[in-house]
């Protein structure tokens, strides 16, 4: 059983009473893809173009997107108020779960996230990943006591399990990365030029549609 299956089984065990009525209807998918108060995002929350990424912090393709593609998206679209980018965790192994918890506990989510992706090879599939992640956390200014407290936060862990289960069940996600560009599903690695073309087509479309 892989880690994603374990997440789903754990979520079923703990959260089935909460989510038993969830069915993957069109309306419910649209609801899941709305920006919620717990989301971590870059840009104007009211932008008409929304890019949501489900990623594992131990996923090489996810790291490549964050290191090579996201900075260009930020410069050309996010910083101009055209697009809002939302990052959602979908851990695929135990190291990526712990990393997701640490990112959530950090004071600066996206810089910490970037550091995790840049150093992914040192912890992503290491048997000694907690030590490596602890060192990364220290470099970001996190005290060892805060590191330990974060990893003992059951509510935080359960929240990550719950959101991963929702994404798996309603959006049928079983691998990373998966992107949703205004609801359009994009699976796997995508080059900047291809993503920019999709964004540009929406900009042209929305320029011809008045704001509601």
Which pLDDT score, from 0 to 100, does residue 210 have?
60
CA atoms within a 13 Å half-sphere pointing along the CA-CB vector of 172:
7
CB of 99 closer than 8 Å to CB of 116: yes
Which pLDDT score, from 0 to 100, does residue 129 have?
96
What one-character DSSP code corresponds to residue 143? -
Digit-by-digit pLDDT tens for the chain (212 residues) are 455 555 554 444 344 444 444 446 888 999 999 999 999 999 999 999 999 999 999 999 999 999 999 999 999 999 999 999 999 999 999 999 999 999 999 999 999 999 999 999 999 988 899 999 999 999 999 999 999 999 999 999 999 999 999 999 999 999 999 999 999 999 999 999 999 999 999 999 988 766 55
Angle made by CA atoms 166, 170, 176, in degrees to the nearest 5? 75
pTM for this one? 0.87
Q: How far lies 108's CA from each of 42, 79, 113, 161, in Å?
A: 12, 18, 9, 22
CA dist 83 and 66 (Å) reads: 16
Which pLDDT score, from 0 to 100, does residue 207 have?
83
CA dist 180 and 47 (Å) reads: 15
Range 26-31 contact pairs with CB under 8 angstroms and sequence separation of 24 or more = 28/170, 29/170, 29/171, 29/183, 30/183
The CATH classification number of 50-60+73-196 equals 3.40.30.10
Strand locations in 36-190 (E): 40-42, 49-55, 83-89, 178-181, 184-187
């Amino acid at each position: 059983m892989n880690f994603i299956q374990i997440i789903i089984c754990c979520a079923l065990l703990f959260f089935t009473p909460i989510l038993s009525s969830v069915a993957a209807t069109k309306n419910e998918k649209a609801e899941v893809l709305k920006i919620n108060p717990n989301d971590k995002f870059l840009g104007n929350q009211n932008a008409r173009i929304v890019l949501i990424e489900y990623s594992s912090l131990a996923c090489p393709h996810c790291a490549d997107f964050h290191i090579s593609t996201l900075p260009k998206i930020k410069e050309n679209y996010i910083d101009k108020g055209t697009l809002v980018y939302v990052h959602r965790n979908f851990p695929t192994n135990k190291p990526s779960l712990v990393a997701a918890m640490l990112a959530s506990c950090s004071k600066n989510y996206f810089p910490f996230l970037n550091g995790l992706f840049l150093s992914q090879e040192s912890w992503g599939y290491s048997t000694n990943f907690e030590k490596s992640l602890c060192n990364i956390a220290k470099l970001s200014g996190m005290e060892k006591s805060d590191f330990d407290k974060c990893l003992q936060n059951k509510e935080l862990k359960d929240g990550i399990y719950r959101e991963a289960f929702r994404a798996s069940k309603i959006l049928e996600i079983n691998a990373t990365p998966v992107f949703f560009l205004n609801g359009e599903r994009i699976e796997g690695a995508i080059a900047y030029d291809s993503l920019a073309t999709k964004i540009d087509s929406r900009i042209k479309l929305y320029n011809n549609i008045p704001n509601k």
